[in-house]
Structure 1
Amino acid sequence: MLQAKYDHRGPVPQDVIEAVEADTPEPGPGQALVKVLAAPINPSDVLTLTGEYGILPPLPAVGGNEGVAEVVALGPDAQGVDVGQTVLLPVGIGTWVSHAVVDARKLVALPKEADPRQMAMMTINPPTALLMLSEFVDLQEGDWVIQNAANSGVGGYLIQLAKIRGLKTVNVVRRESAVEGVTAQGADVVLVDGPDLHKRVKEAVGDGAIKLAIDAVGGASTDHIADCLQEGGTLVNYGMMSGEPCQLTPRNLVFRNITARGFWLAKWFEQASREDQMKVFGQLTKLIATGKLQAKIAGEYDVSQIKEAVAAAAAGERNGKILVVPA
């Protein structure tokens, strides 16, 4: 089998990881041997390779945090899944591999008819988008939400989830070439970021008040979307794509009483009950399996092409997710 492994971290993520051959293991008691069908490369994966993410696994490590697989063999006393079943892999096990041995009890059975490539992206970006829309502000049908990095994986899911709920979205991107793709996903308004963003947003939404702003960029862009909020609105940050800390002027933080919050899915998992987690994933599974919630795919790579795959995922000019799809 092939594994994408790294034993150090560095500023160029594709330089630290490589495909390594290993013997395909036999499943032990309670375990399942699975063949990975698809595993995405997320921004958090890239930051893990550069050493900039909030949680870093001990080295050496195998890359990848989520994915979908097919059960190919079961060890003694393995329960909960059957050979041939499509399953969701546990988060954080190292999914950029051709095969893996996993505790069978931690595998979640998926609808056989569901697209494994779409299901492979379910455990990180979709719940991030869904929870940011529901955990901070009591939004009602017809309300406006503004987000930047709207052409990102989370951004695309947020547009679709907002539309399902009857919410309207203002979507901010950093380059003109991204506008068409975001519009095609069902965005109500798409604008390129800039210091005058609040003026252009006001022209677009008219009397519509924006209660929630979602920021993945940081730097001056944080203050740009804060300018667009109604007085007393809430801004939620979940990323730093600019590489700069969030900037909020006293005008927004003090005089306009804007509340700034942070969201990290790993922390939500720590605090949420098993029932709440299953409720979120049950909702997302149904939406993705029925094609109502989808993500764009920019490219697919075998494990043997992991360097090229990581380089593509780390590149700025990209329209969709990069997937590791073992041959």
Structure 2
Amino acid sequence: MKRAVYSQRGPVPQDVIDAVEFTVPALAEGQALVEVLAAPINPSDVLTLTGRYGLLPPLPAVGGNEGIGRIVALRSSRPGLPMGRTVLLPVGCGSWSTHVVVDAARLMPLPDDADPRQLAMMTVNPPTALLMLREFVDLQPGDWVIQNAANSGVGAYLVQIAKLRGLRTVNIVRRDSALQAVRDAGGDVVLVDGDRLTERVADATGGAAIRLGIDAVGGAATDRLAGCLAERGVLVNYGAMSGEPCHASPAAFVFRDITLRGFWLSRWFRQADAQQRQAVFGEVAALIARGTLHAPVAATYPVERIREAVTAAAAGERNGKILVVPNA
């Protein structure tokens, strides 16, 4: 059995992590041994390895914040968790591993006949997209929402969830090569970020009043999104792909009363009760099982090649998620 362990953090994320062998301890009462089927590498995972994420586990740590697996040993009488059942792993369990030992009470049963690679990505990106569309502005069918980093994992889910709710999307990307992938995902308007963005968005939407903007880039891109919003619009930031703080002109706040908010899924998880979390996960799992919600996968790697996997995940030029598939 192997898992990806790091004992330090540094500016080059792939240099601080490696696959090491380990022995599974005997299960205590209430625990389950889960064979990991798939686990994604998210931007937050890369930031954790560099020490720049908002919540850092104590060292040494096992990489991987989400994933799914199959129960292979169990010391629990909890109903609905038979041997061999596909389950959602608890957040932060160290999923870049061939096997994990977890509290059986924290496992959520999943459909056994759904694509495990798609289910593995359900804990972070789909809830982020769903909640940002729901929590900040009361959007109605026919309304517009604008987002940048539209070719990201969250961006792809946001396009699909918006379409299911009758919303229309303006999708901003940072390179020409990303345009077609977002169009194929169902984006209504897809544009490359840059000069005259406000005018180009207005032309493409017929001057629609856009009340919600979603920013994952930061820097000057934040101000360009703010310029596309209607008076009293809300701009939600959830990332800083540019590596820069959010920049916004005072004119956006003073003359158009734009509100800049932040969203962090970890905070939402801490504040939500079990019923709220279950409702979100249940909705996402059902959509994935039906094939309604999906995300592209760029490549898969065994845990032994974790350094290559992290290198690929940290690179900018790709369309799709990097997955660790420990037991392929």
For the superposition of Structure 1 and Structure 2, which TM-score range results when normalised by the shorter chain? over 0.9
State the partner residue of 1:230. Answer: 230
The yes-or-no answer on 1:205 pairing with 2:216 is no
Give the structure 2 partner of residue 253 of structure 1: 253
Map Cα deviations across residues 183-219 of structure 1 (whole Å, 9 max, x no partner): 1000000000013101100110013210100000000
- Whether the 8 Å CA contact 2:76–2:104 is kept in 1: the answer is no
SS of the counterpart of 1:151? coil
| Conserved 8 A contact 1:213-1:235 | yes
Deviation at 1:272, TM superposition (A): 1.3
SS in 1 for 2:211: strand
Which residue matches 1:314? 314
Structure 1 counterpart of 2:161 = 161
Q: What CA deviation, in whole Å up to 9, does each residue of 1:25-44 have, x standing for no partner?
A: 33221111110000000000
Cα pair 2:40 2:324 within 8 Å, conserved: yes
Match of 1:263 in 2: 263
**SS where residue 210 of structure 1 aligns?**
coil
Show the counterpart of 1:3: 3
Shift of 1:80: 4.7
Q: Deviation of residue 100 (structure 1)? A: 1.1
The CA deviation string for residues 140-167 of structure 1, in whole angstroms up to 9 with x for no partner, is 0000000000000000000000000000
Q: Name the structure 1 match of 2:21.
A: 21
- The CA distance in 2 between the partners of 1:294 and 1:30, in whole Å, is 33
Quick one: distance in 2 between partners of 1:112 and 1:77?
20
1:109 equivalent in structure 2: 109
Distance of 1:70 and 1:37 partners within structure 2: 7
* Whole-Å separation in 1 of the counterparts to 2:2 and 2:253: 50
SS at match of 2:228: coil
- 1:248 and 1:298 map into 2 onto residues whose CA distance is 33
Q: Distance in 2 between matches of 1:295 and 1:186?
A: 12
Question: Any stretches of 5+ residues in structure 2 without a counterpart?
Answer: none
Equivalent residue number for residue 65 of structure 1: 65
Q: C-alpha separation between the residues in 2 aligned to 1:35 and 1:94?
A: 12
Provide the residue aligned with 2:93 in structure 1.
93
CA distance in 2, matches of 1:154, 1:49: 20
SS at match of 1:55: coil
RMSD value over aligned CA atoms? Answer: 1.0
Please give the alpha-carbon distance, in whole angstroms, between the structure 1 residues aligned to 2:63 and 2:281.
23
Conservation of the 8 A alpha-carbon contact between 1:162 and 1:168? yes
TM-score (normalizing by structure 2): 0.98
SS in structure 2 of the partner of residue 56 of structure 1: coil
Contact kept, 8 Å, 1:26 with 1:33, in 2: the verdict is: no
Aligned to 1:300: 300
Shift of 1:315: 0.2
Percent identity of the aligned residues?
66
Alignment of 1:49 with 2:41, yes or no, is no
Cα distance in 2 for partners of 1:23, 1:278 equals 32
Deviation of residue 271 (structure 1)? 1.2
Separation in 1, partners of 2:111, 2:126: 18
2:316 corresponds to 1:325:
no
Alignment-derived partner of residue 179 in structure 2: 179
Q: Which amino acid aligns with 1:213?
A: G
Q: Distance in 1 between matches of 2:268 and 2:204?
A: 34
Q: Which amino acid aligns with 1:74?
A: L
Distance in 2 of aligned mates of 1:80 and 1:170: 42
The TM-score with structure 1 as length reference comes to 0.98
Q: Is the 8 A contact 1:96 1:303 kept in 2?
A: yes
Q: Distance in 2 between matches of 1:77 and 1:225?
A: 52
1:87 aligned partner, one-letter code: V
What SS does structure 2 have at the residue aligned with 1:87?
strand
Which sections of structure 1, spanning at least 5 residues, go unmatched?
A: none
What CA deviation, in whole Å up to 9, does each residue of 1:254-296 have, x standing for no partner?
1111011000001111111222111111111110110000010
Aligned length: 327
User: 1:212 & 1:76 partners in 2: Cα distance?
Assistant: 46
SS of the residue corresponding to residue 317 of structure 2 reads coil
Distance 1:294 1:130 in 2: 13
| Contact 1:29/1:77 (<8 A) preserved | no
3-state DSSP class of the match of 1:202? helix
